[in-house]
Copies of this chain bind each other. A is one copy, B any other.
Amino acid sequence: MKKILNKPESYTDDMLKGIYAAHSEVKYAADDLRCYCTAKKVPGKVAIITGGGTGHLPLFLGYVGEGLLDGCGVGSVFQSPSAEQIYEISKEVEAGAGILYLYGNYTGDIMNFDMAAEMCDMDDIQTMSLVGADDVNSGAPEVRRGVAGIFYMYKAAGAKAAMMGSLEEVYNAAKKAGDNARTVGFALTPCIIPEIGKPNFTLEENEMAMGMGIHGEPGIWNGPIKTAAEIAEESLNTLLGDMPVAEGEEVSVLINGLGATSVEEQYILCGNVLDILHSKGIKTSHVYVGEYATSMEMAGASITICKLDDELKSYLDYPVKTPFIRMN
């Protein structure tokens, strides 16, 4: 296992110590490193809390900051944060306007966020919950996993909250972004969970896995690596088959590197994706390329499209400032 670390069992906490040491804009609540919060509370603003396992930076905690989220429950590598952590973060970041829980559609996360919501309810803290479920190849819409497309939900909710929208308005902004976002991902190599020390799956030399999840969940086919243009074409067929986009409509495109894939390759893929969209008469704006939801040192990428209107564009244009992500 070729990783820069001290002890596998301290991977998550050592990472957190580094983040807190580097960035004074964030802090932790309840004397627990894993209760990650913004240091800047805005009275009267809807708070937004996310959470999930370690190993996906900047997902999840990297989205905590101005114009985005207020707190993040940090689990161990690929593990859910606990209900108690979410509850402690809730008490810390709640600012009088309620809390939106916004996270990926995974069973453990749902269970713990729901339990935290019940604990908040007993304290008269109002919560609403919404999950990201954008990974088209992971199943029927109601069971889909949340992957990089949650970026659009964070961005919409964060902007609406910063504009001092109500809890329901923030929820609706995130839901609208989620309803319009679809993702397809694929892996070229596995990654290694530090405490396990060996890859969670294997791929042959020259083999890729289409549709693989960010924890190594099996995809829809394994086979020889396709060219960037072929991957772009198959992925867009899947995306547009699931969510039709008419000629003349506009989409945002997010090309997300899973970890080991170079930014150079991400842009090669981006060029092919944009070419195909333009050839169909679909307009593009707000093109994002880089690491938004990773799987440590997995090689591969995902392609997300989000259908835009003026409302969603205004959310994307809203400034953002976190230790990991700046947009202005």
Interface residues of A (CB under 8 A from B): 2-6, 11, 14-19, 21-23, 54-55, 57-58, 188-189, 205-206, 208, 225, 227-229, 231, 253, 259-272, 274-275, 287, 289-291, 294, 296-297, 299, 301, 321, 324, 326-328
The 8 closest A-B pairs by CB, nearest first: A18-B271, A18-B267, A260-B260, A57-B263, A22-B287, A18-B270, A326-B326, A4-B265
Interchain CA distance A296-B261 in the complex, whole Å? 8
Cβ–Cβ contact A6 & B326, under 8 A: no
Copies of this chain, complex-wide, total 2
Cβ–Cβ contact B297 & A262, under 8 A: yes
Interchain CA distance A262-B265 in the complex, whole Å? 17
Out of B21, B189, B291, which one reaches A263, CB within 8 Å? B291
Closest beta carbon of chain B to A4's beta carbon, Å: 4
Interchain CA distance A15-B19 in the complex, whole Å? 32
Chain B neighbourhood of A294, CB < 8 A: 262-263
Name the residue in A14, A18, A22, A321 with the highest tally of chain B Cβ atoms < 10 Å from its Cβ: A18
Interchain CA distance A18-B268 in the complex, whole Å? 6
Out of B15, B227, B321, which one reaches A5, CB within 8 Å? B227
Q: Assuming the A-B contacts A57-B262, A57-B264, are A2 and B189 also in contact, with contact meaning beta carbons closer than 8 angstroms in the complex?
A: yes
Q: Assuming the A-B contacts A261-B297, A291-B263, A326-B328, are A4 and B274 also in contact, with contact meaning beta carbons closer than 8 angstroms in the complex?
A: no
